[in-house]
Amino acid sequence: MTTPTICIVGGGMVGCALAALLGRDERFTGTVVLLEAGDPPVAGDHYDLRVVALSAASQRVLEAAGAWAEIAATRASPYREMQVWDAESKPGFPGSVHFSAAEVGAATLGYIVENQLIRLALWQTLESMERVVLRPNCRVSELRLEDATARLTLDSGEVMDCTLVVAADGAASPLREMAEIETTGWSYQQKAVVTHVQTQNPHQETAWQRFLPSGPLAFLPLADGRSSVVWSNTVEGAERLLGLDDQEFLAELEAASDGQLGKMLSCSQRAAFPLRLLHARDYCRQRLVLIGDAAHAIHPLAGQGVNLGFLDAAALYETLIKALQADEDPGDRSVLRRYERWRKGDNLAMLAAMDGIKRLFSNDSRSLARIRGFGLSLVNALPPARKAFVRRAMGMSGDMPELITRPEHTASELGAEFR
């Protein structure tokens, strides 16, 4: 099997990253076809409302994919510290915890970057790759999995045969449905309201997060001095916040932030996204594999969703390259199961941890408030516990792909923290 055709369905951040990793690697001699239902990403003068907190591990994946230099040269905002506090506390007091990159010998905890900017940088890299075929505005409507080949039918009626289909088509994954892969999970009956705000006090390259009974409220530092707000709320609460005029909204936000960033001076447009937990029971079938949100969706309270997705992409890339080097069929279930075994435990552990934290904190109970306050104070008082949290959030622990642990695979500017 020397010239496989791999069809990646979904040109979101995760699908584009996998296409770029394969397309850049000379050991991969086949063809990658990237099918995306929407338009190609375009450069915009305005900040995209959707941003993600990228871990150091994700930065490494984007470096290996050839996109990080472009991202860093545009609007990536480093965050070096994190302040987390309970509704009944304040930063620096019992019931709060402070994390810093310096504590683990790193320059940053990660970067806040707009989703569209990541997609754009990856897409531009892909455009220059000979073995990658980009197909925007192509929606897959049918899938047939056979022992030796997978067949995709597009909305246009066009039919494509390939060695392997990678479903990177998001949490609602039509391909997962077509392959009849079941999921477990639930809706949180919550929505996250997002906007960018100008605050009176500087953000100090710090991510601020207050746990309110209605859900967590986060301020993520942006490169232009504003902060990106992610305010999880009940569905009704989120709809109400969207309906307020700017002045009313800013007044509520200021009260909810406990004044930690001073007055809320102005905000951009607002939008809300439904929140859910979802996990696919299987990550693969013969000739099909799931990555990113198609395999798992998580509450955004610790900003881990796409970071897990980039680890999936890196792990699948490594699994496929090793299989090809051993002259194995990359679409065979026995190969894809290696990737599944590698990533499933890690993803499930993170999903369970975030779900537990969400439940513990989104709660009015006084006894639970005491337990949470004690827990946060305990972590804050124990440097090894703080470091363990930081290393986990940076994607620096667990069974990591080689392109993250061996910087010689990339022109990495990161330090030795992964080794």
Rule CB under 6 A: is residue 303 a binding residue for ligand FAD? Answer: yes
The pair phi, psi for residue 162, each rounded to 5°, is -150, 170
User: Could you tell me which residues are beta bridge partners of residue 142?
Assistant: 153
Rule CB under 6 A: is residue 10 a binding residue for ligand FAD? Answer: yes
Tokens of 51: 């941003």
Rounded distance, CA 350 to CA 354, Å? Answer: 6
Closest distance of CB 172 from ligand FAD, Å = 7
Write the CB contacts of 336 (distance below 8 Å, at least 6 apart in sequence).
Answer: 164, 283, 284, 285, 288, 289, 319
* Nearer to ligand FAD among residue 123 and residue 324 (C-beta): 123
Rule CB under 6 A: is residue 395 a binding residue for ligand FAD? Answer: no
Rule CB under 6 A: is residue 52 a binding residue for ligand FAD? Answer: yes
The length of the chain in residues reads 419
What residue has token string 């531009």? 124
Binding string to ligand FAD for residues 114 to 153, with x set by CB under 6 A, is what? -------------------------xx-------------
* Nearer to ligand FAD among residue 294 and residue 414 (C-beta): 294
Size of site (CB under 6 A) for ligand FAD: 32
Out of 23, 41, 170, 407, which residue is the one contacting ligand FAD (CB under 6 A)? 170
* Nearer to ligand FAD among residue 229 and residue 264 (C-beta): 229
Rounded distance, CA 194 to CA 117, Å? Answer: 17
What residue has token string 């990660």? 110
Out of 29, 38, 107, 413, which residue is the one contacting ligand FAD (CB under 6 A)? 38
Cβ proximity of 199 and 253 under 8 Å = no
Rule CB under 6 A: is residue 241 a binding residue for ligand FAD? Answer: no
Binding segment (CB under 6 A) for ligand FAD, from list 91-99, 122-130, 169-177, 373-381: 169-177
Question: b/e string for 374-386 if b means 16 or more Cβ within 10 A?
Answer: ebbbebbeeeeeb
Rule CB under 6 A: is residue 156 a binding residue for ligand FAD? Answer: no
Out of 6, 7, 8, 9, which residue is the one contacting ligand FAD (CB under 6 A)? 9
Please state, as a whole number, how many other Cβ atoms lie within 10 Å of the Cβ of residue 329: 17
* Nearer to ligand FAD among residue 169 and residue 340 (C-beta): 169
Closest distance of CB 328 from ligand FAD, Å = 26
Site for ligand FAD in 214-233 (CB under 6 A): 230
Out of 66, 95, 305, 401, which residue is the one contacting ligand FAD (CB under 6 A)? 305
Count of CA atoms in the C-beta half-sphere (13 A) of 333: 9
In a 10 Å sphere around its CB, with 0-12 CB exposed, 13-18 middle and 19+ buried, how is residue 146 labelled? Answer: exposed
How far lies 206's CA from each of 12, 260, 277, in Å? 27, 12, 27
In a 10 Å sphere around its CB, with 0-12 CB exposed, 13-18 middle and 19+ buried, how is residue 147 labelled? Answer: exposed
Binding string to ligand FAD for residues 261 to 290, with x set by CB under 6 A, is what? ------------x-----------------
What residue has token string 């929140």? 275
* Nearer to ligand FAD among residue 136 and residue 375 (C-beta): 136
Rule CB under 6 A: is residue 36 a binding residue for ligand FAD? Answer: yes
The pair phi, psi for residue 88, each rounded to 5°, is -90, 10
* Nearer to ligand FAD among residue 37 and residue 320 (C-beta): 37
Site for ligand FAD in 194-213 (CB under 6 A): 194
Cβ proximity of 33 and 191 under 8 Å = no
| Helix (H) / strand (E) containing 290 | strand 288-290
Binding segment (CB under 6 A) for ligand FAD, from list 87-95, 165-173, 243-251, 314-322: 165-173
Rule CB under 6 A: is residue 192 a binding residue for ligand FAD? Answer: yes
Rounded distance, CA 165 to CA 370, Å? Answer: 49
Binding string to ligand FAD for residues 344 to 363, with x set by CB under 6 A, is what? --------------------
Positions that interact with ligand FAD (CB under 6 A): 9-15, 35-38, 52-53, 139-140, 168-170, 174, 192, 194, 230, 273, 292-293, 300, 303-307, 309
